[in-house]
Amino acid sequence: MYRYDSTDKTLVRQRVAQFRDQTQRFLKGALSEDEFKLLRLRNGLYIQRHAPMLRVAIPYGLLSARQLRTLAKVARDYDRGYGHFTTRQNIQYNWPELARVPDILEELAEVEMHAIQTSGNCIRNITSDHLAGITPDEIEDPRPWCEIIRQWSTFHPEFTYLPRKFKIAVTGAPQDRAASLVHDVGVHIIRGPNGELGFEILAGGGLGRTPIIGQVVREFLPREHLLSYLEAILRVYNLEGRRDNLTKARIKILVRSLGIEEFRRRVEAEWQLLRDSGLRVDEAQLERMRSYFNPPAYRALQDVAPDSGRETAFRAWYRYNTTAHKVPGYRAVFISLKKPGVPPGDATDDQMDLIADLADRYSFGEVRVTHTQNLLLADVEQDRAYDLWQQLRGAGLATPNIGTLTDIICCPGLDFCSLANAGSIEVAKLINDRFDDYDYIYDLGEIDVKMSGCMNACGHHHVGNIGILGVDKGGEEWYQITIGGAAGADASLGSVIGPSVPKAQVAETIERLLEVYVEQRDPEERFLDTVRRLGVKPFKERAYAAPIAA
């Protein structure tokens, strides 16, 4: 993985000093609430329902074991013993004390981490495929490019006061595991007409109040021009994005109002002025960056079937919680943070410490955070999967549900977030209570459920196969349900099935939707495909056919 050089170290230390000074000025009264807000937001610090919330950047979801131990230590020493992993591969702490945040940042700086640009109207953490570098169908490892973009966007002097936040996702495989079509900009590594590597560039995707799928701005960009092209997009957005209305300020609204043709024309015109500036990425630079992401020292192994002859519980886990690796004899192992009864995406300090140890012993000392709020050990020898499983199971980290109904993506909701209308964590629990039969869950197969506590859509409900949105009705929590959304390369927005339902009826409503699926699916057909084939109508009819007992 990337390691800081002296410049990176200097910059992060200087950021800590800057933020310490700003915090002290605020606490002394030299900065007003509003002035401090703009400064702290650029450092990942929100003031939430109970306390400040600190979001720490995990660039493209990649962590060393040492970094994860520091995240555990922060949870233990400054918070209440846990952290929450997010859909953008970051971690959030819900209980830090404002005056001690500079100390947290100092501890993070020691392990080459920070909270720079994890909130505020600037370029946010770059996210990517959690299977980068190991997935068999990959065109090229996107991580060197993620790091190049990370550096370019960090403290970018021109783009620190954008109309609104700006999120970039990069993928290097045909299958999109980074939800890049619902990002402000999606960067896809592709091969050009002559087989050369370059990028497809999309813009204008996003969720929130106005969900939109991103559109192609440029079909093929030669790779040395990536940064100047991004700079052109950002410049057009900075000048022309709306600043008069917060809910219309994202780039998706600009792209929609100009139309993709006109937006492209403006970007291309700007790019002509920028393409020969100092932002060209040359081959030597790329090679240097790639060398940080060289494959680890894999052993020469053969593929084996470690689940043969093992107990059912291991076999289920191996089937659902591990995935293919391009190197024979290896497997990528998901660590489910979706144990029933635990808020989705949460991990305790002890769990983080254990996972760090397991990473050292089983996976070359690295851990990845997935967009679906789980963790991943990317490089596990198949032969050692059984040992690993036993250790994970002992810590409540082996729930065999990756990609199934109970692998729910979920925002922190009403319990922590001052924006939320709904207790999304509690609804996740109700769904888990209702669907506790694994035979049934496995029979349903691949279904992704995403839940957001409010219109800001941090839980990406629009692109869930089943989406659940918390709405406020006269002070009560109600839930709007959508079906047919998808976040991958075939991304689509879900359709609302009908009127929202009270909390007590969410699980029953979902069960009814699933009944329709089980009755009407073709052999091997996924829930998503059945919805696409049948449309919303039969699902809607069943969901509202009979009153649900309170």
Partner 1 sequence: MPRRLLRNSQIVVDEWRYIAEASRDAAAPLIVTLAQWQLEPDTWLARGTPIGVVLSPAHRVEQIAAELEVFSLVAAEFSGPGEGRGYTQARQLREQYAFTGELRATGYVRRDQLFFMARCGFNSFELPDSDIEDAFTAFSTFTAAYQPSNDLGLAHKLRNTVSAPRT
Instruction: By CB under 8 A, name the binding residues for partner 1.
Output: 3, 5-7, 10-11, 14-15, 18, 22, 34-35, 38-39, 121, 148, 151-152, 154-163, 227, 235, 238-239, 243, 273, 277-280, 282, 284-285, 288-289, 291-292
Q: How far is the CB of 289 from partner 1 (least distance, A)?
A: 6
Between 228 and 370, name the residue whose CB sits nearer to partner 1. 228
Question: Which residues on neighbouring strands pair with residue 249, listed in sequence order?
Answer: none
> d(Cα 465, Cα 447) in Å, to the nearest integer?
6
DSSP letter at 278 equals T
Residue appearing with tokens 């600037």: 122
Relative to beta strand 322-324, strand 330-335 is: antiparallel
Minimum Å gap between C-beta 517 and partner 1 is 46
Nearer to partner 1, 138 or 147 (CB): 147
Q: Which is nearer to partner 1, 192 or 222 (CB)?
A: 222
What CA–CA distance (Å, rounded) separates 465 from 454? Answer: 18
**Least Å from the CB of residue 276 to partner 1:** 11
The three-class DSSP label of residue 341 is coil
Start-to-end C-alpha separation, the chain: 52
Nearest distance, CB of residue 501 and partner 1, angstroms: 38
Identify the CA nearest to 381 among candidates 293, 317, 295, 303: 303
- Please compute, for residue 132, the number of CA atoms within 13 A of its CA located in the half-sphere on the CB side: 33
Please report how close the Cβ of residue 19 comes to partner 1 at its closest, in angstroms: 10
CB 295 to partner 1: min, Å: 14
Q: How far is the CB of 110 from partner 1 (least distance, A)?
A: 17
Query: Which residue number, 277 or 390, has a Cβ lying nearer to partner 1?
Result: 277
Q: Which is nearer to partner 1, 5 or 261 (CB)?
A: 5
User: Is the Cβ of residue 84 or residue 150 nearer to partner 1 in the bound state?
Assistant: 150
Instruction: Please name the residues in contact with 308: beta carbons below 8 A apart, sequence gap of 6 or more.
Output: none
Q: What's the closest the beta carbon of residue 290 comes to partner 1, in angstroms?
A: 10
Query: Which one, of 336, 325, 333, lies nearest residue 296 by Cα?
Result: 325
Task: Kindly state the tokens that stand for 10.
Answer: 């200097």
Nearest to partner 1 of 11, 260 (CB atom):
11
Are 186 and 194 within 8 A, CB to CB? no
SS3 415: helix
Q: How far is the CB of 285 from partner 1 (least distance, A)?
A: 5
Q: Tell the burial category of 533 from Cβ atoms under 10 Å away from its Cβ (0-12, 13-18, 19+).
A: exposed
Nearer to partner 1, 72 or 123 (CB): 123
Inter-CA distances, 63 with 9, 43, 93, Å: 17, 19, 17
Complex with partner 1: residue 18 or 391, whichever CB lies closer: 18
State how far the Cα of 426 lies from the Cα of 453, in Å rounded to an integer. Answer: 11
Task: Give the residue among 234, 304, 218, 309 at the shortest CA–CA distance from 274.
Answer: 234
Mapped onto helix, strand or coil, the DSSP state of residue 292 is coil
